[in-house]
């Protein structure tokens, strides 16, 4: 991370325990499991925090209800990963009226609601999309190649920004996007949507860009069932860099993976403690992400933390 939240949060937290409500958006992917674990560990007794956790199961109404309940409980800070970018104004106004700071982890809210947000700790999704599709452009431009895209949850900042970044990288190339559809960041939907792409376009598809590892892993089943070889007949680029994703890359079934770091807990805890102590914090802390080819995946796997 950049800025002053980079250091690991220290223990203790004074005599008074800090009450934090964390509204996680779901449990849809390997990335999300690692992210939840990182936050639950950091927002705990080692940082003098008493945590109330809620899983919204990828439903905005559940997340809004959880945030309302945190406001009623009178927590000292609210942390949440917004499932989508828009539709938060009313609940964020309520938090502001109750003088409860709101810190985003992972995903962002839209411009109109930025005024209610104290800080965000997350990844640069647009850069991830641009890096993924720059690899596609570097390897396929000039070959008349056809691309299909498995997009993440419709309306989420992760999907919106990765799509924007990818479009930037493909501009001016002859790569044709045959189709792009929502796979909701899950293996099951990645498989179903890929089956549809294969039925519609058959062996015209040269490249798959899956906006997370899980959708890419689901798509592998569909590609194999269609009698094609993933990584060869269809080259595959994904985002996240989970253990399962890097294993598929090391095995030659994926071709390139762009990391999205889920281990945001220590930085979130540092921001929460600073905000509650009345210290000034930055509006944005971005994690550093790297990209992996097949050789880099093999080298990284033995020590991969998630
Ligand atoms: O918001 C981050 C994205 O959400 C991750 O790429 C994905 O795996 C998760 O579900």
pLDDT tens for each residue of 207-255 = 999 999 999 999 999 999 999 999 999 999 999 999 999 999 999 999 9
Provide the CA 96 distance to its chain's centre, in angstroms.
26
Ligand 1 atom closest to Cα of residue 31: 8
Residue nearest to atom 6 of ligand 1 (CA): 212
Segment 271-291 mean pLDDT: 97
Closest CA relative to residue 287, chosen from 106, 123, 119: 123
- Check pocket membership of 260 for ligand 1, CB cut-off 6 A: yes
8 A C-beta contact, residue 237 and residue 209: yes
pTM of the model: 0.94
Question: Which pLDDT score is estimated for 15?
Answer: 57
pLDDT digits (tens, 9 = 90+) for 201-210: 999 999 999 9
Tell whether ipTM is more than 0.95: yes
Cα–Cα dist 60/259, whole Å: 26
Residue 211: DSSP 8-state: S
**Calpha distance 98→288 (Å, rounded):** 34
Answer whether 212 contacts ligand 1 (Cβ < 6 A): yes
pLDDT at site 138: 98
Task: State whether the beta carbon of 28 lies less than 6 angstroms from ligand 1.
Answer: yes
């Amino acid at each position: 991370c950049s800025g002053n939240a980079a250091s690991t949060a220290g223990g203790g937290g004074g005599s008074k325990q800090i009450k934090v409500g964390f509204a996680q958006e779901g449990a849809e992917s390997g990335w999300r499991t690692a992210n939840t674990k990182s936050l639950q560990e950091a927002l705990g007794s080692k940082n003098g925090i008493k945590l109330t956790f809620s899983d919204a199961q990828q439903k905005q109404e559940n997340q809004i209800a959880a945030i309302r309940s945190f406001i009623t409980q009178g927590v000292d800070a609210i942390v949440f990963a917004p499932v989508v970018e828009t539709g938060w104004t009313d609940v964020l106004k309520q938090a502001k009226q109750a003088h409860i700071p709101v810190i985003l982890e992972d995903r962002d809210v839209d411009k109109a609601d930025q005024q209610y947000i104290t800080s965000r700790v997350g990844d640069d999704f647009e850069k991830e999309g641009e890096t993924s599709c720059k690899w596609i452009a570097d390897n396929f431009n000039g070959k008349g190649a056809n691309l299909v895209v498995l997009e993440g949850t419709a309306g989420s900042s992760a999907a919106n920004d990765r799509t924007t970044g990818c479009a930037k990288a493909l501009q001016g190339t002859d790569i044709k996007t045959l189709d792009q559809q929502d796979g909701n960041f899950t293996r099951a939907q990645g498989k179903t949507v890929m089956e549809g792409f294969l039925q519609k376009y058959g062996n015209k598809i040269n490249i798959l860009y899956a906006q997370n590892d899980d959708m890419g892993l689901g798509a592998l089943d569909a590609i194999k069932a269609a009698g094609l070889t993933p990584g060869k007949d269809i080259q595959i680029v994904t985002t996240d860099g989970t253990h399962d994703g890097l294993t598929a890359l090391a095995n030659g079934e994926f071709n390139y993976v762009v990391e999205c770091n889920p281990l945001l807990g220590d930085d979130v805890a540092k921001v929460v403690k600073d905000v509650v102590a009345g210290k000034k914090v930055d509006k944005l802390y971005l994690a550093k992400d790297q990209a992996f080819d097949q050789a880099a995946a093999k080298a990284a796997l033995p020590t991969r933390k998630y």
